[in-house]
Amino acid sequence: MSATAQTIDRLKVDGRGALIGYLPVGFPTFDQSVAAVLGLIDAGADIIEIGIPYSDPVMDGATIQEAVDVALSGGTRVRDVFRLVEAVAGRGAPILAMTYFNPVLRYGVDAFARDLAAAGGAGLITPDLVPEEAGEWIAAADAFDLDKVFLVAPSSSPARLASTSLASRGFVYAASTMGVTGERATVGLRAEQLVADTRAAGAERVCVGLGVSQPEQAAEVGRYADGVIVGSAFVRPLLGDGPFSDRLAAMQEVAAGLAAGVGRARSTGQPG
């Protein structure tokens, strides 16, 4: 069983889901992205996603696009994800990379898996790669004992839910709604049913992302999902021109609130 799966299962025994936090490498700078990830772990994130900045995003909303633009302008490249993973691995939270697949193809699929594993990474989330077209990545990930996290969405057919559940390792990433990342007033209404359908299709662990930014939303999702994935709500406090220490503290305050929301979801059985 992978470290990611072990973490989710351990938390389940403790009566709670996992808080999974996303931050991009190189934002605002490389060293500050290291500090941000460590700060996120200290504030209660159980699993970390490190995003590779990409110039033509498919899934990223405005907040994350603004951050990755800063990272790209600062010279961040694909190989920096391995430096960041190495700097934060072994701190108590499995570290997953997250990227569209083209950078992996350009880097070399086997070489990417090799370098991610060597850095201490737990696996990779690939939002634009479907299992039917992922044979080369699946083989490389299996060779280096890495998690393969594929996505399902409210539009996914029963056949796609089954093929994604079979191909995934670690967890299945359930997008709560159709669209891009970003903070929303409500979580997608079909998210709970999507989790149930994905489990029925064979997934052992299903975590929900897109739209969660408030403790009440984290509690709502944590009631039925194995993990709550948050990105924009952590990135937003790091934007701006104030002292980085203040921005980092603001991000940690958000993280602590969301971790508390996830933690109380199953103890009360009610959101909020």
Q: What is the 3-state secondary structure (H, E, C) of 25-89?
A: CCCCCHHHHHHHHHHHHHCCCCEEEEECCCCCCCCCCHHHHHHHHHHHHCCCCCCHHHHHHHHHC
Active site residue 49: yes
Q: What is the pLDDT of residue 56?
A: 73
Residue 121 has pLDDT above 90, yes or no: yes
Burial of 120 (0-12, 13-18, 19+ CB in 10 A): middle
Residues 162-190, mean pLDDT to the nearest whole number = 78
Mean model confidence pLDDT for the chain = 91
- pTM score, two decimals? 0.91
Residue 34 has pLDDT above 80, yes or no: yes
Could you say which of 49, 147, 183, 192 is catalytic? Answer: 49
Q: What is the pLDDT of residue 181?
A: 56
Q: What is the pLDDT of residue 178?
A: 53
Residue 8's pLDDT band, with cuts at 50, 70 and 90, is very high
Domain ranges of the chain: 3-264
Residue 57's pLDDT band, with cuts at 50, 70 and 90, is low
3-state secondary structure of 204: coil
Q: Which residue has the tokens 């089954």?
A: 162
Residues 133-158, mean pLDDT to the nearest whole number = 96
Comparing 20-34, 56-70, 169-183, the range with the smallest average pLDDT is: 169-183
Residues 198-209, mean pLDDT to the nearest whole number = 96
Residues 22-40, mean pLDDT to the nearest whole number = 97
Q: Which CATH superfamily is domain 3-264 in?
A: Aldolase class I (3.20.20.70)
Q: What is the pLDDT of residue 180?
A: 53
- Higher pLDDT: 117 or 210? It is 117
Residues 108-133, mean pLDDT to the nearest whole number = 96
Residue 271 has pLDDT above 50, yes or no: no
pLDDT tens track for 226-259: 999 999 999 999 998 899 999 999 999 999 999 9
> What is the percentage of the chain residues whose pLDDT exceeds 90?
80
Give CA angle at 83 (80, 84), nearest 5°. 90
Residue 32 has pLDDT above 50, yes or no: yes
Could you say which of 60, 192, 220, 226 is catalytic? Answer: 60
Q: Which residue has the tokens 């709560």?
A: 176
Q: What is the pLDDT of residue 185?
A: 54
Residue 187's pLDDT band, with cuts at 50, 70 and 90, is low
CB 26 within 8 A of CB 67: no
Residues 151-178, mean pLDDT to the nearest whole number = 92
Q: What is the pLDDT of residue 186?
A: 59
Residue 211's pLDDT band, with cuts at 50, 70 and 90, is confident
Residues 191-209, mean pLDDT to the nearest whole number = 95
Residues 219-232, mean pLDDT to the nearest whole number = 93
Q: What is the pLDDT of residue 272?
A: 38
